Structure 1
């Protein structure tokens, strides 16, 4: 079954669950426009998530998802709220959903983990998930090691469930490429940072618009916890100390609260502006509806061009 039929959405486009960013305003706009909007529950209490879900439903009656960061200590509360509020789709990250799968599946919830390797995709299929989001290293935020172009076809060949491609996608060409690689759709985060409905500071949005192809940097590689952000004074300082062998505790002091600084305060010097390498393609602030429609139209045109180029 195709991912659009499985989730009852119009377009095979997921909005990435970005911590402190993917709230109901953004998720509702993406779902209403035909994609799958996703609320990021990381850092929320159960009741805060409940309020987010109810606010989203005031704006749309279309399918949406909630992302669970599996390292959170209040997983039980989050899962309870998700089941009580009858959330149709759950995506997961930062761990294995094995221990919560029985509760979610019993409630009829579709479960789609974010993974970054063939091994993890196969393990998730064994657990009975409905699909996987395969995220390449081009993505913003926490990343794996393999790039999207290499990762997607290997995972498509290794599992029988639908694969959603993430990392390095910001337009219809990326969607067409993902489909050509065997994925059934894409998940995008960076492009939605520049949407009208995204609740981040104007300065953060302007940093996305001003980004070039080489604007991002990855911190935390040495410690084994790589995070991709737009390069600024904070990332340069972090990488300099990291290369000198500074211990993890001192490095963490630099990043504590840095995401909030970027999202809420517009601090583009010391804030953590998570972004994918594809930011250089994002040139305008648009409504989510326009973003989705233009991506789908361009993908359809590009796939048709490919057919003509191949002589079909």
Structure 2
């Protein structure tokens, strides 16, 4: 089995999470140029927007990068065609099965890597012919599954014969070393890259992240079977209260309508949905993406070398 770096032509086995409305050419290009895999988050974009983002990314880097397809989006067919037209060679997917797109992607030499949250889904994706999977635990920010990375990752590694990357709960070199100990070939990181200098979110979002503590995230939407992890704020605490009281869907939807845009574009940390993972409390400074990657792997190597297990 080739390593994920050999498979994709990247230097570091690290993917940048495809954070909705955030993962533009600015952060994706910086991560790829630094040796990782930058990923454009196409959710909510038109075909023309995706085409422009791909071209802008290529102005920043000549190295490999990927596009993420959120398979719930109604214009997925158009976005997939843009990926083929623009000759992007790596696609990650979320929120569904990419099976219908795999034949066309394979014919064009595109590597397909779904983000999954269960062993059952991993097995199905291997059977469908994907090249690797990202096993994401519920510690992650944004839309999550129900199993923690510590439990999920080794079960998926044991269940499939393709490269597996771990996601969720990686905030420093210690947690990266743990991901490797659980059998992964690499890691996908989202929340940590929110603190990158190149990440195009408002300063208020980054400041909220830096000031977060270990208990500062909240999961909403579990009752609707669409759980999302974000940084706590008055709006989300109100949502959780209404959700617990079995408020009508319309009332909950009214509360959150436009909340992601309010956080990402307006920097509204009171009524916006500022998605972030449980590692938010570990982030204490703003650094270039290149420095984040290099320090992450240097620390992981030192930690792995220092481990002495006795019994």
Cα deviation for residue 234 of structure 1 reads 0.8
Distance 1:6 1:112 in 2: 11
**Residue 134, structure 1, aligned to residue 135, structure 2:** yes
Q: What TM-score, normalized by structure 2, do the two folds share?
A: 0.98
Structure 1 residue runs of 4 or more that deviate by more than 6 Å after TM superposition? none
- Which deviations, in whole Å up to 9, do the C-alpha atoms of 1:212-258 show, x marking residues without a partner? 11000000011111000000001101001001111222211111110
Q: How does 1:95-174 map to 2 (within 5 A)?
A: 95-174=96-175
| Structure-1 residue corresponding to 2:248 | 247
Distance 1:260 1:214 in 2: 24
- Which deviations, in whole Å up to 9, do the C-alpha atoms of 1:105-140 show, x marking residues without a partner? 111000000100000000000000000000000000
Cα deviation for residue 170 of structure 1 reads 1.5
Cα deviation for residue 56 of structure 1 reads 0.4
Cα deviation for residue 310 of structure 1 reads 4.2
Distance 1:310 1:93 in 2: 37
Segments of structure 1 that go 5 or more residues without pairing to the other structure are none
Distance 2:295 2:24 in 1: 23
Distance 1:61 1:175 in 2: 27
| Structure-2 residue corresponding to 1:232 | 233
Secondary structure in 2 matching 1:229: strand
Cα deviation for residue 206 of structure 1 reads 0.5
Secondary structure in 2 matching 1:90: strand
| Equivalences, count | 309
| Structure-2 residue corresponding to 1:13 | 14
Distance 1:261 1:123 in 2: 37
**Residue 30, structure 1, aligned to residue 42, structure 2:** no
Cα deviation for residue 88 of structure 1 reads 1.4
Distance 2:102 2:95 in 1: 15
Distance 1:37 1:252 in 2: 32
Q: How does 1:260-299 map to 2 (within 5 A)?
A: 260-299=261-300
Distance 1:252 1:163 in 2: 35
Secondary structure in 2 matching 1:186: strand
Secondary structure in 1 matching 2:99: coil
Distance 2:251 2:89 in 1: 41
Q: What TM-score, normalized by structure 1, do the two folds share?
A: 0.98
| Structure-2 residue corresponding to 1:81 | 82
Distance 2:68 2:227 in 1: 20
RMSD (Å), alpha carbons: 0.8
Distance 2:114 2:42 in 1: 14
**Residue 60, structure 1, aligned to residue 68, structure 2:** no
Cα deviation for residue 39 of structure 1 reads 0.2
| Structure-2 residue corresponding to 1:191 | 192
Distance 1:24 1:123 in 2: 31
- Which deviations, in whole Å up to 9, do the C-alpha atoms of 1:166-206 show, x marking residues without a partner? 00002111111111100000000001111100000110010
- Which deviations, in whole Å up to 9, do the C-alpha atoms of 1:23-80 show, x marking residues without a partner? 0000000000010000000001111100000000001000000000001111111011
- Which deviations, in whole Å up to 9, do the C-alpha atoms of 1:70-97 show, x marking residues without a partner? 0111111101110111111100001110
Segments of structure 2 that go 5 or more residues without pairing to the other structure are none
Distance 2:207 2:44 in 1: 25
